[in-house]
Amino acid sequence: MIENLLDPVVLFFLAGLIAGVLKSDLRLPESIYEILSIYLLLAIGLKGGAELHESQLHNVISPAAASIVLGIVIPVIAYFILRRLGKFSRPDSAAIAAHYGSVSAVTFAVVLSFLSQIREPYEQFVTVLLVLLEMPAIAVGIFIARLKTTSGPLRVGTLMHEVFLGKSLYLLAVGLVVGYVLGPHGLLPVKIAFVDLFRGALAFFLLEMGLVASNRLADLKRVGAFLVLFGILMPLISSVLGCVLGVATGLSVGGTTVLATLAASASYIAAPAAMRIAVPQANPTLYITASLGITFPFNLIVGIPLYHQMAIATHSLLG
């Protein structure tokens, strides 16, 4: 855990968080957030695509299937916990559940950064799992929310457009395809921009994310103790599922750590945008605070090294 804290990426996040909590006037220009998020999504996709170019595609099939299963099972479990134990309304429970089933690309980038720092190898196709895990949970969340409710007609067209052509999935997918077509050699001309500068940009982005997350901390009181607890326990439950499925589908310790982290992470780009349109009755303060104010910092600081240990343990138990 101490090792993880000494990663510049995590320290930058803490720096942003502290600046926000202490009300420093540090504020990055709005365009920086946008530029960096576009850059990171594209770079994650390109890097993943180039690595995919060199890997055996048939190896990806069972982990990919496992990802889709996780994307469906996690929101269902989350929904029942929130609805039965937390007594949240159906729309609120469904919308929060969708966030926990979907993934955070930045958390994914941080786990890869962590694994390369500790020199733990992982499968080259993991970016495919990221792309696959983003979608199903959002669909499950919308489905649960709209069961038995009589809210207005679902604007399927707008929603599909929001999800599939929303920047996060589009940039990841485009990067993946371009990276795959070009391969590592074809990407050489842009390697300096998209590979070498990646960790610096990620650290810079996390400074901003620390500030954004600190703004969410003010809402912790409003969302209540149950949701705060949920924001920590749900990723733990999900990561256990991720570890078991990772080992069961033949992933290495590194790959299992990635799958567990993906399972544990909660979306804060694609899911909120989709939920706001598909489930307008759900209170956005609840899902954004849980995902961005609790789960994201938890995963970054405590979760990732913990999931790595869990992956090792699961491998020695089941492997």
Enumerate residues 123-152 that contact another protein by CB under 8 A. 152
- 3-class secondary structure, 1: coil
- What is the rounded distance in angstroms from the CA atom of residue 178 to the CA atom of residue 32? 24
State the minimum distance, in angstroms, from the CB of residue 212 to another protein.
5
Q: Give the per-residue contact string, 273-302, with another protein (x = CB under 8 A; - = no).
A: x--xx--xx--xx--x--------------
- 3-class secondary structure, 281: coil
Enumerate residues 9-28 that contact another protein by CB under 8 A. 27
Distances (CA, A) of 31 to 39, 77, 113, 135: 12, 37, 25, 27
Nearer to another protein, 177 or 277 (CB): 277
State the minimum distance, in angstroms, from the CB of residue 16 to another protein.
11
Contact pick of 61, 87, 121, 155 for another protein (by CB under 8 A): 155
Decide: 202 and 110 in contact? Cβ < 8 Å.
yes
Nearer to another protein, 138 or 310 (CB): 138
> Position of tokens 């600190």?
214
Q: Give the per-residue contact string, 30-49, with another protein (x = CB under 8 A; - = no).
A: x--x----------------
State the minimum distance, in angstroms, from the CB of residue 171 to another protein.
13
- 3-class secondary structure, 86: coil
Nearer to another protein, 52 or 279 (CB): 279
- What is the rounded distance in angstroms from the CA atom of residue 212 to the CA atom of residue 190? 30
- Segment lying near another protein (by CB under 8 A), choices 58-66, 67-75, 199-207, 266-274: 266-274
Q: Which two tokens stand for residue 153?
A: 């007609």
Residue 148, by phi and psi: left (phi above 0), alpha (psi -120 to 50) or beta? left
Contact pick of 52, 212, 234, 258 for another protein (by CB under 8 A): 212
Decide: 106 and 16 in contact? Cβ < 8 Å.
no
Residues of this chain that interact with another protein (CB under 8 A) are 27, 30, 33, 152, 155, 158, 211-212, 215, 268-269, 272-273, 276-277, 280-281, 284-285, 288
